[in-house]
Amino acid sequence: MAQISEIDNLDRKILSMLMQDATRAYTDIAKELQVSGGTVHVRMKKLEDLGVIKGSHLFINPNAVGYDICAFIGIYLEKGSAYQTAVTKMRQVPEIVEMHYTTGQWSMFAKIICRDTLHLREVLNEKIQAIEGVERTETFISLEESITRQVSIL
């Protein structure tokens, strides 16, 4: 794992800019940070080699492709040992976009994206609750996503 000491302020600034807009040109970043384009390139290569960079993703508006509902699901498992097989099954449910193994009342915690309430019920009843080891679920629907961003590294 990369050590924090290997990442200096310039690295952090470059990363921050690309975390907001991954397609921004290196030359443009170089201009703003008053270094050469080559330097930005060398730093990015270093950060990639260190495994700091996981990848880049294009973000779309889920509404535009017909996904209106975002919900969180707390999942109770019958026994903790069911976790590994449950995760494998959950991976096959495309509506699940995030899944965590958590402390607290639930064993697992998922974020799902659905087209409408009908679709949500279908995913809950026929997909998630049908998975072996899942005892019971609790659903929280997001009425508004007021903040979405990445961790600040500056």
Enumerate binding residues for DNA (CB under 7 A). Answer: 10, 25-28, 35-39, 41-46
CB of 38 to its own copies, least distance (A): 18
Q: Which does 56 bind (CB under 5 to 8 A by kind): its own copies, DNA, none?
A: its own copies
Tokens at residue 30, please? 């170089």
Per-residue b or e along 17-28, where b marks 16 or more CB atoms closer than 10 Å to that residue's CB: bbeeeeeeebee
Does position 97 interact with its own copies (CB under 8 A)? The reply is yes
Does position 40 interact with its own copies (CB under 8 A)? The reply is no
Does position 81 interact with its own copies (CB under 8 A)? The reply is no
Angle at 14 between CA 51 and CA 10, to 5 degrees: 95
- Name the residue among 115, 137, 138, 128 with its Cα closest to residue 63: 115
Return the sign of the alpha-carbon dihedral for residues 33, 6, 52, 40: positive
Interface map 44-73 toward its own copies (x if CB under 8 A): ------xxxxxxxxxxxxxxxxxx--x-x-
Tokens at residue 142, please? 């997001």
CB of 84 to its own copies, least distance (A): 9
Nearer to DNA, 7 or 96 (CB): 7
Cβ(124)–Cβ(137) below 8 Å:
yes
Interaction site with its own copies (CB under 8 A): 1-2, 4, 7, 12, 15, 18-23, 50-67, 70, 72, 87, 90-91, 94-106, 109-110, 113, 138-153
